[in-house]
Amino acid sequence: MEKKKTLKKLSQLKIGESGVIDSFTDKEMSLKLLEMGCTPGEMVTLDKIAPMGDPIAIKVSGYLLSLRKEEASTVMVSMMSKN
């Protein structure tokens, strides 16, 4: 069994799933997310999805942050999965 790092968009997480923030694909969006505590290396967990499928709410650094899927899709998270 080896540990493999796979990258996923934050918007693709399932409820309850966690990942570690790896990088951002949108510079401007990243600035806003950084100041809200979404820094690379921080663990995030998808807490809930709004009834119409968008926006989503994530647990980060001890609080609930809601953001639109479009915004979440600019965040790459690494998933620790066992293959």
Q: Which residues bind to other proteins, rule: CB under 8 A?
A: 27-37, 39-40, 42, 48, 50-55, 57, 61-68, 71
How many angstroms separate the CA atoms of 58 and 55, rounded? Answer: 10
C-beta of 36 vs 80, nearer to other proteins = 36
31: phi then psi, degrees, rounded to nearest 5: -60, -45
Least spacing, CB of residue 8 vs other proteins, in Å: 19
Least spacing, CB of residue 71 vs other proteins, in Å: 6
Q: Let me know the angle formed at the C-alpha of 41 by 37 and 46, rounded to the nearest 5 degrees.
A: 65
